[in-house]
Structure 1
Amino acid sequence: MGLGSIGTAVLFVGAGFSVIVTMASNILNGVVTALIFGAFLLTVAVKDKHGQSLLMRATTRVGWMVTKSTGTHIYRSGPLGRAEWGTAQLPGLAAGSRLTEWHDSYNRPFALLQIPTTSDYTVVIETEPDGAALVDREQVDVWVAEWGMWLAGLGDEPGIEAVSVTIETAPDTGTRLRREVNSRIDPEAADFAKNILHDLVKQYPAGSATIKAFVAITFNAAARVGGKKRTPDEMGRELASRLPGLTQSLSSTGAGATRPLSAQELCEVIRVAYDPAAARLIDDANAAGEPPELYWPEVGPTAHQANWDTYRHDSALSVTWMMSGAPRGNVPSSILARLLAPHRDVARKRVTLLYRPIDAAKAAAIVEADVRASTFNLQSSNKPTARSMTATRAALATAQEEASGAGLVNFGMLVTATVTGAAHEADAKAAIDNLSATARLRLRIVHGSQDSAFAAALPLGLVLPKHVRIPSEIREQL
């Protein structure tokens, strides 16, 4: 029936209670009691293609109605807004975040983002992926293997809570190209050659895109379960010595040149995400050698409104999807290529992979439980289905790899499409639906919490399971 531990317990309790009511009263009352329990179990057992039960969808709808009735889906900041001190602080899950800057062992500045509500600290690393174009197949295989080893090593790193990888595509303003060309033009060159270069600088940015990649590593304030929580000063000093090793090992995965983001750079990334119209102004200021002085309490939107399936923020409108089903079968390294590439119908696209490393001590128990469950399902049927046989083989392969030293991680994906207005919303949704099909992904729009999903897709290191009221362990057992 697809029931979890709690659902199965409710089934047995309902059956027993119905028998007791029948014996104590009459059969009619017993039937009514059984129907009540049956109706509840039906809301849990009946699920759609995304694995959402009727109970979960009803709970989401009720929660959204409460959000609208209280007006918490609308946010206004600034001098005339509702935020304290008249600032434009980040809304929602990141409202209480604090930003400080430190220097690592290589004397590189890095931003340290603190989330007090969950006692987490995040550092963001900017990467310049090499790409797979004109690269030998053997080299790509090495990068994939190194990435797997890097993820496996996270389970052994003390205090690491989660890792997110964000790939963002956006229109190129042309500022960097203009600055690079102008700095290399010879003043004594022929006018014809200089005119050609100037024409190229004007025409090339039209329709071109820029691709940025960020890796956010989230650490828990306590190095171990039950340990003492460390202060921001203690975390800053510790991460200053650990960050060079993390960036160096990340470079071997095909991430290219890696460096931590400074506080100013992180402020620019988040500011542009909430207000894409500010991208050109920030690029022009950096090109002129006068970077804007942004402060963390000022990088949020001046206004936002979260709707059932869209999110309006400052100068743009965004829609965020979540992955409800990973690709089945063999997964080649290029499966996400089209999803990550720029698309003409989406002004800004952000694909974020979320990883939560599982402790090596717990990984063995998890894979063995999966093997027992899949084997039981296979042997309980006289005619096992192809899907159950495939699941059993996959569980056995995972257990064998884990026993050989491979790491185990929980992973997910968020995809955010940002457009300049509501007129382009339908085109963006159709584009993401088509791109998800090429990646063999099953995506669903995040209903009722678009603002939280948008923030989680940013390189802020937000760990979503730690922000929900009902623990994920309980929801999975329904």
Structure 2
Amino acid sequence: MSNSNIRTYGNWRQPTSPGLLGLGSIGTGVLLAGLVATIITVMVADVLHAIVVFVIMAGFLAAVAVKDKHGQSVIVRSTNRFNFMRARYSGSNVYRSGPLGRTNWGTNQLPGLAAQSRLTEHFDSYQRPFALLHVPSAADYTVVIGTEPDGAALVDQEQVDGWVAEWGHWLANLGDEAGIVAAAVTIETAPDTGTRLRGEVAGNIDPDAPAFARAMLNEVVATYPSGSASVRAYVSVTFSAAARANGRRRDADEMGRELASRLPGITQGLSATGAGAARPLSAQELCEVIRIAYDPEVATLIDDAHQAGENTGLRWPDVGPSGHQANWDSYRHDSALSVTWQMTEAPRGIVQANILTRFLAPHRDIARKRVTWLYRPIDAGRAAAIVQADVRAASFNETSSDRPSARAVVGTRAALATAQEEASGAGLVNFGMLATATVMDVDRIADARAAMDNLSATVRLRLRIVTGGQDSAFAAALPLGLVLPKHLKLPAELRGKF
């Protein structure tokens, strides 16, 4: 295939709000109110008092308008720092559980955003057990699907383009599915324990084989797992507990009966996207995934139990860490130390389908790496209004200056292209990304940070370390289906206006 026929992708953008001088709509309102207050002060008092009012207004606007490369203003960073210092002073950034912990019930309950989660198990119409995770505070139910991606090695470009197209259709259809509020894709790379290889060889070796052949197999079992990695992928789909807006919330049994007939269609649609064999995780499997994430050292014990045909017996109240400490830019949990990044800007321009290959691949300086893409589908009725509002805001920002910036001109073109695609039937999805790097040795965290910085540069992603909320970001990157906007005190729609 010639380079001219290679399909490219792009035109993702973050909706903007109209405003003067780069301010959002709320910032522009504050500017106008400050000017009016200054004029009134001059009229009823004197110039000195008016100057004081103007300086106060200008200082507030500077705190709102001056932003770093990640789009965070001074007031947002200051608020984040103050909230973390208050949490550290109160001791809420430290968690101890278990029989010797601070909790009264003596279990290893999940901390933070997932503390209230409840897990039940049901069976779909194919009689496959599936775990149903309920978060009462958000009124959500989540189903986690385990997949086995085929990979792009020795695959024709036409097949890859077909997978990408099917994935786009699957995401677009989420907006038409009743009750779906969010979806997430988690790609996790971790060191291979070698237990499965050891069991496979031990179960198939011939005792009458030559000594040289047996010695070679034993050497392979002993040396092959060193440096190798396993890759696992999970897709979590989150449903609303209410069948309609302001409707009655359904309990776990009602949701289990409804999802039993819908899960086969969802998993079948995933299989066409290159995800391979897709099946829902059982309650026991989900418990093991979360337990290993918080304490990676138990991965070998769980693999040994599976190899011996034993049940781990994990329960949902026991999958959390026995202790954690959320620092400003890191997260210590049981036997590991983790750092989580958030995507602040998607790659600019156009990209190809293999843009994330290196970023998702295992890295020698990172013991365990977890990359989670978060999606919030938008129904067709709201999508049209959103894209039209974005077009008006982009046009206003371009025409508000006699010499508009190149970014304002390109933003208007991108908004118009998005509106045309939506009018042609394309779906609209809000998306974000979290990436977690975990090391077993605290001294290796600097190497892991450098590795993530280098990997993000190769894929043109702008990443920022989550500060002041590492424990929440770590939980959000797990296949738990947590919808972050529902756990924020200040709505995302209001934060986006500044």
TM-score using structure 2 length: 0.94
Structure 2 counterpart of 1:106, one-letter code: Y
Match of 1:388 in 2: 408
Asked if 1:336 is matched to 2:356, the reply is yes
Asked if 1:471 is matched to 2:498, the reply is no
Asked if 1:134 is matched to 2:149, the reply is no
Secondary structure class of the residue paired with 2:183:
strand
Match of 2:434 in 1: 414
* Whole-angstrom CA distance in 2 between matches of 1:408 and 1:84: 45
| 2:290 aligned to which of 262, 267, 270 | 270
* Whole-angstrom CA distance in 2 between matches of 1:43 and 1:173: 50
Match of 2:178 in 1: 158
| 1:404 aligned to which of 398, 405, 424 | 424
* Whole-angstrom CA distance in 2 between matches of 1:349 and 1:411: 20
| 1:177 aligned to which of 189, 197, 215 | 197
| Structure 1, unpaired ranges of 5+ | none
* Whole-angstrom CA distance in 1 between matches of 2:281 and 2:61: 49
Asked if 1:322 is matched to 2:342, the reply is yes
Asked if 1:442 is matched to 2:462, the reply is yes
Query: For the structure 1 residues 240 and 354, does the alpha-carbon distance in structure 2 shift closer, same or farther, using more than 3 Å as the test?
Result: same
Structure 1 counterpart of 2:39, one-letter code: V
Post-superposition offset of 1:21: 1.5
Post-superposition offset of 1:391: 1.9
* Whole-angstrom CA distance in 2 between matches of 1:180 and 1:393: 57
* Whole-angstrom CA distance in 2 between matches of 1:449 and 1:258: 32
Matches within 5 A, 1:231-380: 231-380=251-400
Asked if 1:149 is matched to 2:169, the reply is yes
* Whole-angstrom CA distance in 2 between matches of 1:31 and 1:88: 58
* Whole-angstrom CA distance in 1 between matches of 2:335 and 2:244: 43
Query: For the structure 1 residues 383 and 15, does the alpha-carbon distance in structure 2 shift closer, same or farther, using more than 3 Å as the test?
Result: closer
Structure 2 counterpart of 1:98, one-letter code: R
* Whole-angstrom CA distance in 1 between matches of 2:249 and 2:437: 37
Asked if 1:195 is matched to 2:215, the reply is yes
Post-superposition offset of 1:187: 3.5
* Whole-angstrom CA distance in 2 between matches of 1:140 and 1:392: 31
* Whole-angstrom CA distance in 1 between matches of 2:273 and 2:321: 35
Matches within 5 A, 1:34-45: 34-45=54-65
Structure 2 counterpart of 1:286, one-letter code: H
Secondary structure class of the residue paired with 1:85:
coil
Encode CA deviations 1:35-58: one digit per residue, 9 max, x unaligned. Answer: 111111110000000000000000
* Whole-angstrom CA distance in 2 between matches of 1:15 and 1:383: 24
Asked if 1:423 is matched to 2:450, the reply is no
Post-superposition offset of 1:278: 0.4
Encode CA deviations 1:87-136: one digit per residue, 9 max, x unaligned. Answer: 00000000011000001000000000000111100000000000111000
Secondary structure class of the residue paired with 2:154:
coil
| 2:136 aligned to which of 116, 124, 129 | 116
Match of 2:237 in 1: 217
Secondary structure class of the residue paired with 1:86:
coil
**What fraction of aligned residue pairs are identical, expressed as a percent?**
68
Give the RMSD, CA atoms, in angstroms.
1.1
* Whole-angstrom CA distance in 2 between matches of 1:83 and 1:292: 24
Asked if 1:226 is matched to 2:246, the reply is yes
Match of 2:82 in 1: 62
Match of 1:3 in 2: 23
Post-superposition offset of 1:181: 2.1
Asked if 1:78 is matched to 2:98, the reply is yes
Pick which of 187-196 and 329-338 moved more.
187-196
Pick which of 206-215 and 80-89 moved more.
80-89
Structure 2 counterpart of 1:355, one-letter code: Y
Structure 1 counterpart of 2:76, one-letter code: M
Count residues in correspondence.
Answer: 478
Structure 2 counterpart of 1:100, one-letter code: T
Encode CA deviations 1:184-243: one digit per residue, 9 max, x unaligned. Answer: 323443332222122111110000000000001011101221222111110011011100
* Whole-angstrom CA distance in 1 between matches of 2:391 and 2:29: 23
* Whole-angstrom CA distance in 1 between matches of 2:144 and 2:29: 44
Post-superposition offset of 1:373: 2.3
Post-superposition offset of 1:380: 4.2
Structure 2 counterpart of 1:369, one-letter code: A
* Whole-angstrom CA distance in 1 between matches of 2:100 and 2:495: 40
* Whole-angstrom CA distance in 2 between matches of 1:178 and 1:189: 17
Encode CA deviations 1:225-262: one digit per residue, 9 max, x unaligned. Answer: 12221111100110111001000000000000111000
Post-superposition offset of 1:466: 0.4
Post-superposition offset of 1:473: 1.2
Structure 2 counterpart of 1:127, one-letter code: T
Encode CA deviations 1:52-86: one digit per residue, 9 max, x unaligned. Answer: 00000000000001101110000000111012310
Structure 2 counterpart of 1:37, one-letter code: M
| 1:208 aligned to which of 223, 228, 238 | 228
| 1:53 aligned to which of 45, 59, 73 | 73
* Whole-angstrom CA distance in 1 between matches of 2:43 and 2:438: 61
Post-superposition offset of 1:379: 3.8
| 1:125 aligned to which of 141, 145, 154 | 145
* Whole-angstrom CA distance in 2 between matches of 1:311 and 1:318: 5
Structure 2 counterpart of 1:272, one-letter code: I
* Whole-angstrom CA distance in 1 between matches of 2:407 and 2:497: 22
| Structure 2, unpaired ranges of 5+ | 1-20
Structure 2 counterpart of 1:71, one-letter code: G
Encode CA deviations 1:388-417: one digit per residue, 9 max, x unaligned. Answer: 332222222211111111110110000000
Structure 2 counterpart of 1:282, one-letter code: I
